[in-house]
Amino acid sequence: MKKFLCKSLLVIIPLLLLSINYAFYEPSGGDLAAIGKISIGKDYRTIFSDDFQKEIKYLDLKNIDLSEEFSAHILNIGDSFSVQGGFGYQNFLCYYGLTVVNLSIGTINADSPVQLLFSIVNGDILDKLKVDYVILETVERSFARSAQRADIDKKLFVYDINVNSLKKENPDRTRDAAIKLGIFRDMAVYSLWNFLYRFDERAFTSKVYKVNLTKKLFSTDKNQLLFYYDDVDDIPHSNRESVMELNNKLNLLSKRLKEREIRLIVLPAPDKYDLYSDFIENNPFPKNKFFDYLRQLEKEYIFIDSKALLLEHINTGMQDVYFADDTHWSPIASKIIAKKIYEELHYEGQVKERPSRQSALP
């Protein structure tokens, strides 16, 4: 009996300690908090509740009948930064009176937004979908590499945009990188990493860095920055040569679109590390020069320098431009980006009269 009690205590006591520790874990909903098992505060995202409830005004290409011509101001093509629903930048563009059609790589079998746009330009979709502008959005860390892999002659047709070719929407691929843990293992990992983060920025085995900031830039209790490990690991792929190749392919895309009287808008979404790197305390990581290289090159497209744009606001002390608990920008950044894009379109004065969302629905 005594041996049984001793063995039971060997199991019960660790579980009890883990349970007590785990009780302090407050999941906030962000991908980084989930992957790194980092407690941010379950009420953190309530500050964005009004934006989370915004009516979605943009249209998904998958829901449009292209058997007949369909007109819109903008076709937006992107990755997970383009599937933020009501608080996405393309939705805020609609509040300026623009009609926006959205297509993300999460809804159709495409390797990257760059490849998807090449395929669309080479096919017959733009014969049916009449737009003035195409926005190409891609996260910084994969932009140059995805351009290197892109097949510039691949084609995508209206026939391919149907229910059989579409796959289930997956707006947050980073979250999929998180291990699906059972409750007991979850408790153990949270307790272990919560301890190890005291000694290493990645808790030695986590995929999320946690570092201190020199300035309070998030409305959370701790003055910290969370970012995904690929933000650092993928920096070598954004070298001068790869960015030059990216720019050449973007210019080629722009040329092909101009033949259809469509202007290309290029929107790189800054890696969270790169955007906040100057504010990291004793930053031990290398500098990402992607935007530095791209700024220097001659462009035949409209370039949205999102890093410089967002840094203007961060340097004033603006908080939560990116979510504290996530790899993605917040509604604050979405509004800033949308305003800048609208200003670019207004400056060009090339926005044609297009149907409103209601009259444009098939």
pLDDT reported for residue 306: 98
Q: Does the residue 110 lie in any domain?
A: yes
Q: Report the DSSP pairing between strands 208-212 and 224-228.
A: antiparallel
3 state DSSP class of 10: helix
pTM: 0.87
Q: Does the residue 147 lie in any domain?
A: yes
- Asked if 323 and 330 count as a contact pair (C-beta separation under 8 A), the reply is yes
| Signed CA dihedral, 336, 54, 141, 125: sign only | negative
Question: Cβ neighbours of residue 298 under 8 Å, at least 6 residues apart?
Answer: 247, 251
CATH number at residue 153: 3.40.50.1110
Q: Does the residue 82 lie in any domain?
A: yes
Q: Does the residue 38 lie in any domain?
A: no
Provide the domain count of the chain.
Answer: 1
Q: Does the residue 206 lie in any domain?
A: no
Q: Does the residue 148 lie in any domain?
A: yes
Distances (CA, A) of 277 to 23, 75, 214, 284, 323: 32, 32, 10, 10, 15
- Asked if 119 and 158 count as a contact pair (C-beta separation under 8 A), the reply is no
Which residues of the chain register pLDDT less than 70?
Answer: 1-28, 162-188, 347-362
At 272, list the tokens. 């969270």
Q: Which of 43, 210, 187, 66 is nearest to 125 (CA)?
A: 66
pLDDT reported for residue 109: 72
pLDDT reported for residue 127: 96
Which domain range does residue 59 map to? 47-174+232-360
Q: Does the residue 118 lie in any domain?
A: yes
**What are 186-204's pLDDT values in tens digits?**
666 777 888 899 999 999 9
Q: Does the residue 190 lie in any domain?
A: no
How far is residue 332's CA from residue 321's CA, in Å, rounded to a whole number? 5
Written as one letter, the residue type at 119 is: S
pLDDT reported for residue 93: 97
Torsion of CA 208, 209, 214, 218, to 10 degrees: 0
